[in-house]
Chains A and B, each alone.
Chain A
Amino acid sequence: MTKQIILAAHFPGVNNTTVWTDPAAGSQIEFSSFVHLARTAERGLFDFFFLAEGLRLREQRGEIYDLDVVGRPDTVTVLAAIAAVTERLGLAGTLNATFHEPYELARQLASLDHLSGGRAAWNVVTTPNAFTGENFRRGGFLSYADRYTRAAEFIAASRTLWDSWSAEDLVVDGDSFARTPAPGAFAFHGTQFDISGHFTVPRSPQRHPVIIQAGDSPAGRDFAAASADAIFSRHSTLEAGQAFYRDVKGRLAAYGRTPDSLKILPAVSYVLGDTDAEAQEKAHHIRRQQVTPQTAIRHLEQLWNRDLSSFDPEGPLPPFDPDVSGESIAQGRTRLFDDPVATARAWRSLAEEKGLGIRDLIIEVTGRQSFIGTPAAVAESVDAFVQQDAADGFILVPHLTPAGLDDFVDRVVPLLQERGVFRTAYPSGGSTLRSLLGLPPTSPASVASFLGGGPA
């Protein structure tokens, strides 16, 4: 059977892939930019809109990083406002389980689900990072090992809250507002949270907002298999995507779940041209906008962990090894190099082998999966990845704000529709994001078995 493709739109944010120098680039913060991208995604019948998050401004060499877009709005606030200017588009936000508390976040998400007619989704992330913790009362940070424990307990506590009102508890009829005098009773006692009382939000349209996760480690894959409705991934080839897909879907049975209950959605960029050559040329130009001479040097510094500002961006890489003795000069970045010395040596031999200067080398090593070509070629590739089980769909990461998705919606979506692999209208009636994605009505409560030390 032909699989239907899932499509989501990422608002370009704090990352050097967002090209702010382009004359067509608009505001990163004015609400009109968010409205434009969301309405474009809805015009293209996309499944959901996606926002990233960062809770401290990044720094390098002790200064706030100034080359990329800096600053972004509060996630839930923007999603609630977008709910007012869209009707069917899902609203997914990255929200940190380290620097929120379950009661307040579950309440905000359930409120968003009510006020959007069942369109809320939550990308669960954690931060093992004292640098970000300096903005919060909690003040501390999690050890890497505790990340999944807190995230799993956070989700379990949230599901407890979302389940605290039964479907029948809200009455609003006769003499009764609620079926019982004190509805919403809950208690959750774990190693991270010890909470009890009464939840103020009756069951929302989706009951549980859609839960999304990222994570490529074995623990991350198990965590997603236990508790997520969708997982982000990043794989550059069809084969690597297929291997990930097989592995993650294969973990579901242990948690009593079917393969359809977890959607695999790689984040990808794309470049369209009237001919393949034109698309390749545009892609090359975009990469050089993304990796400016200054960006190339700063990026190199993140691996070398030294001041390299005296190096020529078009010249050779440093002949010496990275500094692995000191504290990282880059703070607030998620990208980590497990073995900087080995990576640096690999980069140096790659540069020598291909005759690349620093900037071209950085362009080479920081590229992400990207569909580049004519609309027909891109539609064919997107479809191939889905039909051949390397993905269930894609989160598109445009490089321009806010019009970066316009050409995909205008030129590629119609071709996917012609192929019969993408919807031509939203389903009639008040369908939720959960049903739009083809997920089961509620999520399985497998988190407990994950917390219990492994699959049930």
Chain B
Amino acid sequence: MSQLHLAVALDGAGWHPAAWRVHRPAILTAGWWAGLVAEAERGLLDFVTVEDSLAPPSELPGVPVDRADRVRARLDAAVIAARVAPLTTHIGIVPTVTTTHTEPFHIASAIATLDYVSTGRAGWRAQVSARQAEATHVGRRTVPALHTARPDRIAEVVRPLFDEAADVIEVVRRLWDSWEDDAIIRDVATGRFVDNRKLHYVDFEGEWFSVKGPSIVPRPPQGQPLVTVLGHATVPYLLGVRGADVLYVTPDSGAHAAAVVSEVRASERAEGRDGVPLRIFGDLVVFLDPEPGAAARRKRELDDLDGAELTSDAFVFTGTPGELADLLVEWRAAGLDGFRLRPGVLPDDLTLIARELTARLRERGLFRSAYPGTTLRETLGLSRPASRYAVAGGAA
């Protein structure tokens, strides 16, 4: 039986709004992030993602939450990723970067460089920024007001942002390919450092922006770092199908997972995606405790502290590591390739994922006991793609 892929999503003190009250963590220090990623790597997890947004953390899109008793601070995820990368050796590191406000050229350079400083373990969670709060921070454009839109019109409102995101992913991938792997020749006889016939203009012209290229960064170790996208509905699924290597989805049951997988696979066929199929990961918020019933109690206490029951876009699981293993096995049968778990409280739930959940899965032959290689692509069983320009064999 094939093995499960496991990732964890790191966000501040954990995904519960009251998580920061448990350990009063120093979430602005390097030590906090280094400790979390080291723990995930000890558990042999495939990768960590680092959440981000240009606006203060807020639970629902379009609805600012101004509360002094919740986390109001967040560091840049790509900077966190680069800061922890040299301290680890095998785990993938996947920061969130917005496609709505960040220049595609800067994204391509930053993620390619993360691939260099991690020697082949970089990924990117491409995220659309639909909040007006983020738009006013950058001051360059407006986005439609989501909270005034009727729920049935949200797809219509955000679709252009997702279409733009698909263009951003496309141009970022072209920039990664814009240097062939053997472009640097260091030919002393002719005095040429680089063979400029192996550097390519990407010449992207789209509705929202154009980019000339080539990249300023030579082709990164993985050729193409991993591109990941979170989706809850048809529009973002399509973005995943068009541009991502991994799509995170948020089913609330095994049957729902099967329906989502079926829709995504149909979309792949409809879009003519051939080659490597999209890896589909299920997202869950998890509260764990070795003692039966204790995890639900922990979560209720946090809900009480926060004054509200936790709500999330993803299924909220409470239980023992063994119970979570059961659920993951059941959902995987619906066609999921793996899971991205969102620890409710850090580092507690991460520690139980890395130590106990992996042990329960390993007992069933469903989780590795060593990393298969050193790059993130190797960990996920994905090959290193050739540069599209090298394949085409064209001149610059």
Q: Say if A and B assemble together.
A: yes
- A contacts, CB < 8 Å to B: 20-21, 29-31, 35, 54-57, 63-74, 76-78, 80-81, 83-85, 99-101, 103-104, 107-108, 110-112, 114-117, 134-137, 139, 170-173, 175-184, 193-198, 200-202, 292-295
Do A184 and B56 contact each other (CB < 8 Å), given the known contacts A64-B214, A202-B73, A292-B191? Answer: yes
With a cutoff of 8 Å between Cβ atoms, the chain A residues found around residue B217 in the complex are 29, 71-74
Residue from the set B57, B86, B195 with the largest chain A CB neighbour count within 10 Å: B86
**B79 proximity list for chain A (CB < 8 A):** 76-77, 80, 108, 111-112, 115
- Give chain B nearest CB distance to A23 CB in angstroms: 10
Which of chain A's residues have a CB closer than 8 A to the CB of B85? 81, 84
Residues of A with C-beta under 8 A to B34: 84
Contact B137 A78 (CB under 8 A): no
Greatest chain B CB density within 10 A among A107, A114, A180, A294 is at A114
Judging by beta carbons under 8 Å apart, are B138 and A195 in contact? yes
Chain B, Cβ-Cβ closest to A23:
B188
Chain A residue numbers with a CB within 8 Å of B101 are 101, 104
The distance from the CB of B100 to the nearest CB of chain A, in whole angstroms, is 11
> Is the pair A200, B54 in contact by a Cβ cutoff of 8 Å?
yes
Chain B 127-149 interface residues, beta-carbon cutoff 8 Å to A: 133-134, 136-140
Q: Does chain A have a CB within 8 A of B76?
A: yes
A63-B196, A200-B56, A293-B191 known; A76-B110 Cβ under 8 A: yes
Q: Is the CB of B69 within 8 A of A175?
A: yes
Residues of A within 8 A of B193 (CB): 20, 66-70
Q: Is the CB of B117 within 8 A of A77?
A: yes
**Is B158 an interface position by the 8 A CB rule?**
no
Number of A-B contacts (CB under 8 A): 236
**Nearest residue, chain B, Cβ from A96:** B106
Q: How far is the CB of A310 from chain B (nearest CB, A)?
A: 17
- Chain B 70-90 near chain A by CB (<8 Å), digits 1 or 0: 111111101110111111000
* B168-201 contact mask (Cβ, 8 Å, vs A): 1 or 0: 0000000000010000101010111111100100
| A103 and B137 contacting across the interface, CB-CB below 8 Å | yes
Q: Is the CB of B82 within 8 A of A81?
A: yes
Please state if B76 and A108 are interface contacts (CB–CB under 8 Å).
yes
Q: Can you show 26 pairs from A to B with CB atoms below 8 A apart?
A: A20-B186, A66-B194, A67-B192, A67-B193, A73-B113, A73-B217, A77-B114, A80-B80, A80-B82, A83-B83, A84-B86, A99-B103, A101-B140, A103-B137, A110-B75, A114-B29, A115-B29, A115-B79, A134-B210, A177-B72, A178-B73, A182-B72, A195-B139, A198-B133, A200-B72, A201-B76
Contact of A180 with B68 in the complex, beta carbons under 8 Å = yes
Give bound CA distance, A100 to B215, whole Å. 17
Q: Verify B194–A29 contact, CB threshold 8 A.
A: no
Complex Cα distance, B113 from A100, in Å, reads 18
Question: What is the minimal beta-carbon distance from A269 to any residue of chain B, in angstroms?
Answer: 19
Chain B minimum-CB-distance residue to A78: B113
A187 to chain B, nearest CB (A): 9
Assembled-state Cα–Cα distance A35/B85 (Å): 13
Q: Are A85 and B199 in contact (CB under 8 A)?
A: no
- Contact between A195 and B136, CB atoms less than 8 A apart: yes
Q: Using Cβ atoms and an 8 Å threshold, which residues of chain B touch A107?
A: 54, 75-76
Structural contact, A201 and B73, CB atoms closer than 8 A: yes
A200, closest chain B residue (CB): B74
Residues of B within 8 A of A179 (CB): 68
| Closest Cβ–Cβ distance, residue A71 to chain B (whole Å) | 4
User: With contacts A29-B116, A74-B113, A85-B86 known, is A181 near B66, CB below 8 A?
Assistant: yes
Contacts of A78 in B (CB 8 A): 82, 113, 117
The interface residues of chain A lying within 8 Å CB-to-CB of B21 are: 175
Any A CB within 8 A of the CB of B119: yes
With A20-B193, A111-B75 in contact, do A198 and B110 touch (Cβ < 8 Å)? no
- In the complex, what distance in Å separates the CA atom of A201 from the CA atom of B101? 18
Q: Are B191 and A197 in contact (CB under 8 A)?
A: no
Chain A residues lying within 8 Å of B113, measured Cβ to Cβ, are: 73-74, 77-78
Please give, as numbers and ranges, the residues of chain B lying within 8 Å of A293 by CB-CB distance: 191
Residue of B whose beta carbon sits closest to that of A202: B73
Known: A74-B109, A74-B112, A170-B73. A111 touches B80 (CB 8 A): yes
Q: List 17 additional A-B contacts (Cβ < 8 Å) besides A181-B66, A294-B192.
A: A29-B116, A31-B86, A65-B196, A73-B117, A76-B82, A77-B113, A103-B139, A171-B68, A172-B20, A175-B69, A178-B72, A181-B68, A197-B137, A200-B53, A200-B72, A201-B74, A201-B76
Assess whether A136 is in contact with B211, with CB atoms less than 8 Å apart.
yes
Chain A residue contacts of B24, Cβ below 8 A: 172-173
* B370: A residues at CB distance < 8 A: none
Q: Using CB atoms, name the residue of chain A closest to B194.
A: A70
Q: B371 contacts which chain A residues (CB < 8 A)?
A: none
Q: Is B236 an interface residue (CB 8 A)?
A: no
Min CB–CB distance A85 → chain B (angstroms): 5
Known contacts A29-B217, A73-B217, A77-B82, A84 near B105 by CB under 8 Å: no
